[in-house]
Amino acid sequence: DAMVIQNPRYQVTQFGKPVTLSCSQTLNHNVMYWYQQKSSQAPKLLFHYYDKDFNNEADTPDNFQSRRPNTSFCFLDIRSPGLGDAAMYLCATSGELAGNLYEQYFGPGTRLTVT
Amino acid sequence: GIQVEQSPPDLILQEGANSTLRCNFSDSVNNLQWFHQNPWGQLINLFYIPSGTKQNGRLSATTVATERYSLLYISSSQTTDSGVYFCAVGENFNKFYFGSGTKLNVKP
């Protein structure tokens, strides 16, 4: 089945220690998104890629970076995690498929704990 | 940006009851989706419905784009329907606005 995969599902890192979360997709979608979701809140868009074009949300901290080496993979790098960065990180994809233009599909998420 | 309001914020139902969740948005949109977030945090696609009406089993949705609202109907609710329901809207591929969600608790 075509899907969005996130690894790891759970990640524990230390305060200030860089961490990378990964996302892969078999949907061949050209758009990939990273969202941050804190407890009892709605997902908040951090940035997205349209093909190789990177688009950062204005309020995304500089501490968050992303890489997309190819269509299938996208990475979220947190350079110096703080306690406030503990959250669920959701990857999503969308594409220009016939029918539902830019319908988003989400991965299962990575729950990040910062100690 | 587009403001998205969902109501009610919390809903408790007895198993078998019906419910209607509402999503109001402040501007024209080309994309509207309903999601169910399960207890493990995964967002499950329910409907892609920028306009019109769709049905999928016990769930159906209606979006009246000209009046800027969408409704999600759940009939004969089951305990597995519990979770948070999100409405997300967008003008294009590059920005999606989520409502704050409706937390549904279906009791046996």
Q: What is the pLDDT along chain B (108 residues), one digit of tens a residue?
A: 899 999 999 999 999 999 999 999 999 998 999 999 998 899 999 999 999 999 999 999 999 999 999 999 999 999 999 999 999 998 877 788 999 999 999 999
Percent of chain A with pLDDT over 70: 94
Return the higher-pLDDT residue of B39 and A98.
B39
Q: Give me B14's structure tokens.
A: 């007895």
B66 by DSSP, 3-state: which? helix
Chain A (3-42) residues lying within 8 Å, Cβ to Cβ, of chain B: 31, 33, 37, 41-42
> What residues in A contact B98, CB-CB < 8 Å?
42-44
Contacts of B78 (CB under 8 A, 6+ apart): B15, B58, B106
pLDDT of residue A110: 97
- From the list B42, B86, B92, which residue is nearest A42 (CB)? B86
Please, which residues bridge with residue B35 across strands? B45, B86
How much is the mean pLDDT over chain A? 93
CA distance to partner chain B, nearest, from residue A10 (Å) = 11
Residue to mutate among B48, B93, B100, with most A CBs inside 10 A, is: B93
pLDDT of residue A2: 67
Whether the CB-CB separation of A76 and A13 falls below 8 Å is answered with: no
Is it the case that residue A98 has pLDDT exceeding 90?
no
pLDDT of residue A68: 97
Three-state secondary structure readout of B14-57 = ECCCCEEEEEEECCCCCEEEEEEECCCCCEEEEEECCCEEEEEC
pLDDT tens digits, residue range A34-90? 999 999 899 999 999 999 999 999 999 999 999 999 999 999 999 999 999 999 999
Q: For residues B8 and B71, what is the distance between their CA atoms, to the nearest angstrom?
A: 12
